[in-house]
Every structure is written in structure tokens, then in C-alpha cells.
A and B are shown apart, each in its own frame.
Chain A
Amino acid sequence: MMPVFLPDTLDAALDLLTRDPAACVMAGGTDLLVHLRATGDAPGPLVCLDRLRGLKGIKTDGDTVRIGAGVTMTELLASPVVRDFLPLLHRAAGVFASPTVRNMATIGGNLCTASPAGDTLPPLYVMNASVELRSPRGERTLPVDRFITGPRRTCLERDELVTAVTVPIPVDFDIHHFEKVGQRAAQAIAVVSLAALVALDGTTVHRARLAWGSVGPGIVRCSEAEELLEGQRLTLTNLRAAAAAVSNAVTPISDVRASADYRRQVAGNLLLRLAAL
């Protein structure tokens, strides 16, 4: 039996983590509880964050949007700030699992699970999001690509909590594109996903930021494809050249959802969609 604590302040939560190094943090529980039951693991006490009002809220100062770690996917979807300023994240939240799971799953949980298939991650990577962390020793902020260190691995310390995600509002980008390929429309775990931000100068690409999910041990950025597109028009020919670079750069695995070859092909092909936009 694992004792369950429901702290209602951040200090109380941090205190519980400090007192018992075996304590395990639970946000929405939609990944953690499935994992614990599948493995039979029983960590120390569960510190459940769903009473922490301090982790709620979405705020903007016009330059960045700060999203509390306890904000659920449903709350992201309902937020006009997210819809208007962070359309990539809004779209990712819209295809995240199912409506009922979205009522429970949080953005902080999706970050800490650090799955290469985490739906919010490709958008957070291309938007250069930062993760705010707090422990009894103080606060620190890390870029998302440094916070996540590998598949299901982050640099979160045992006595540390993610408190918020800060996302610079992507200005000057003409194309905000997110697409997730799954085996079905709802309740799918991504087979491949792509988040793309493209700034155009007339009809030529001035700047491109691209990130793929589910095609490597972590979120994959492909600077080669970005550079191939920059200075070019978004024609199918140019996109095919970049797509070939992507297919070479990704390192997918074969699993129950798809083969590595399929993922490699689709990762490139998703880029071709930019021609239609």
C-alpha cells in the first residue's frame, strides 16, 4: 500500500518530497498509474498535486505565456490565450488522447513523463519553451530541450517540482503547423508528429523551426532540413529535398504501433504538407 498525500500548497508538497526520498509525484495520473500497475512497482508515498491551486493558471504579459504545471489539456483548449498566441500547443492539446483523459492530464505531467510521443513536446520545442522548477534549495529555469535528457528521463531532482512552463509567443511566423499521425483519430499515441513554425519573406522561407515526435529517443530537431528550406520557396520539390534529409536524420524504433521504416518515411512526408498551406 502506498500512502497518498494531497498537499494544498507548494511548500507542503516540497516538504513531503524532502522528507521521503522515495516519494513519487503524481500529477494527472494518466501515465503514472498505468505505469505503476503495469510494472507492479510500488514507490514510496504518492504526492498527488491535484489540490495545488498554485500550479493552475495561464497568464501572458504580451511577450510570453506562462502556463502552470497543473493546467490540464482541457484547460489549455479552453484558453483564448493559448488558442490565439500558441496555436501549435492548442492543436496538440486537441488531439491529446481523449476528452476524459484531457480533463485529467496536465502539461507538467506530459513534460515529466518525457515520452518521445508526448503530444505537447514538439510544439514546446519549436517555440523554445522553458521549464520552471522549484525545490527547497530555490528556483531554476531550464530550456525544455535541456530539461528532458532522454526517453522518460529529465533532470528533475528528487525534491524538485515543475511549477510552470514559459513559452515565448512566436511572432513573425506565418505558418504554425502541427500534425499527429496515429492509428486512429482518438486515443492514439503518436506514430509520428511534426510541429513546424515557418517565417516567410514574400514566398520564400526566411526561417523554419521543425520538431518531430516519436521518431527517436527524444524530440528530434533537424537543422539540416531547416537550412535546406531557408531561402527556398515552399514547393513540393524543395520540401522533398528537406524531407529526404529528415528521413536520414531520424532514428525511430519499430514497435506495436509502426515500423521504423514507416516512421522514417512519414517523418519526411509530413513536411510535404507545408506545400498546401
Chain B
Amino acid sequence: MKIRFQLNGQEQRLDVDGDLRALDVLREHCGVTGPKEGCGTGECGACAVWMDGVTRLSCLTLAAQLDGRDVTTAEGLATDGPHPVQAALAELGGVQCGYCTPGIVMTAAELLARDANPDRDAIRRAVSGNLCRCTGYHKIVDAVEEAAQTMRAAQEDK
């Protein structure tokens, strides 16, 4: 089927099987490899992307469902330099092997879009669907806290 959607601000027009996984469309057809396949069953969060600003699992989303949507991946989140969440994860060691990172970035950035000043509990709850086997989460939570602070400071400067 023919689908048309926005991916990180660029229009995509594709002719694909409607029952393909959105994850495969993004990676194989669009060459956007931020979203990763960890489990393929909705349990690890490595494939998380935004669709119309809502974080969804692209492994449990069908190609057909992309039609007409505005999709953002970790690549698209970085506009004028890395997103504060991305910068803080890199700086504070919230990344080790990096496989879960694009999913963590999407989930954490959605949290900060909704809540400018989340406490550590709220951050932990927000990333509770993103499995990370390296960091033990501590540094991820540190990084999201730091990013929240950076974003609040930038807001105040405006």
C-alpha cells in the first residue's frame, strides 16, 4: 500500500506491505537506524519513536499506521545540536553499549515535554519500559535530571 508520512521533518512516500512493522519501514526503507529491535514484543522500549508527539513502540506499530503521521526518532530530536537529554546522557555516562539509548532518549524527552521538573521517581517511572542492561539506570536518571535543569534554564533565559 502507498503511505505518506513525515519523518524527522521530511516527507516520506513509500509503497510497502501494510502489515510490515513500522520499525522495519524506518530502518530498512528510510535508513533511519535510531529505533532498534531489542525484543520485538513491546517489552524493551529500544524501538520507541514519537508518533504525533506520543511515544509508541515501532515494533508493535504497522506500516499502514504510519500513514498521515508525524514521526520523530532520536535523529530528529537533535535539531540545533543534540537534544539536552542526548547531551546529558553522553556527558554523564548514561550510555554504555548504547543499544537502549535512542529509546530512552525518546521516552525521557517526552517526559520533559510534559513535566519540566520531574523528581527522580517520576523519571524512573517514565523509563520503566526501557530496558538497559548496562548502566543500572542511576546515570540515566542523573542525565534526565540534568537535562530538565538545562531546559528550564534555557526557558528562563528566553
Contact = CB atoms under 8 A, between A and B. Distances in A.
B99 to A, nearest CB: 16
Interface residues of B, number: 27
B60 A186 contact: no
Contact of A34 (B42, B63, B130): B42
Contacts of B115: none
B62 A29 contact: yes
A48 interface: yes
A55 interface: no
A185 interface: yes
A187 interface: yes
Contacts of B73: none
Nearest to B19: A2
B65 A99 contact: no
A103 B48 CA distance: 11
A241 interface: no
B52 to A, nearest CB: 11
B62 A104 contact: no
A185 to B, nearest CB: 7
B1 A4 contact: yes
B61 to A, nearest CB: 7
B134 interface: no
A4 B128 contact: no
A150 B58 CA distance: 31
Contacts of B18: 1-4, 46
Given A30-B60, A50-B65, A185-B128, A98 B19 contact: no
B43 interface: yes
Interface string B33-56: 000000011110100100000111
A260 interface: no
B148 interface: no
A186 B62 contact: no
B72 to A, nearest CB: 14
A3 B63 CA distance: 11
B129 A4 contact: no
A48 B65 contact: yes
A28 B65 CA distance: 11
B101 interface: no
Given A2-B19, A4-B1, A29 B60 contact: yes
Contacts of B91: none
Contact of A4 (B19, B40, B41): B19
Interface residues of A, dominant DSSP: loop
A186 B128 CA distance: 6
Interface string A43-79: 0001010100000000000000000000000000000
A103 B62 contact: no
A250 B38 CA distance: 36
A97 B61 contact: no
B45 A1 contact: no
B17 interface: yes
A6 interface: yes
B126 interface: yes
B128 A99 contact: yes
A30 B55 contact: no
Contact of B65 (A6, A38, A103): A6
B56 A103 contact: yes
Interface of A: 1-6, 26, 28-30, 33-34, 37-38, 46, 48, 50, 97-101, 103-104, 185-187
28 contacts: A4-B62, A5-B64, A6-B64, A28-B60, A29-B60, A33-B62, A34-B41, A37-B41, A38-B41, A46-B18, A48-B62, A50-B65, A98-B43, A98-B130, A99-B128, A100-B42, A100-B107, A100-B129, A100-B130, A101-B57, A101-B129, A103-B54, A103-B55, A104-B56, A104-B57, A186-B125, A187-B43, A187-B129
Given A2-B18, A34-B60, 8 more contacts: A4-B64, A46-B62, A97-B42, A99-B128, A100-B45, A100-B55, A101-B129, A104-B60
Q: Which 4 A-B pairs have the closest CB atoms?
A: A98-B129, A186-B128, A4-B18, A4-B64
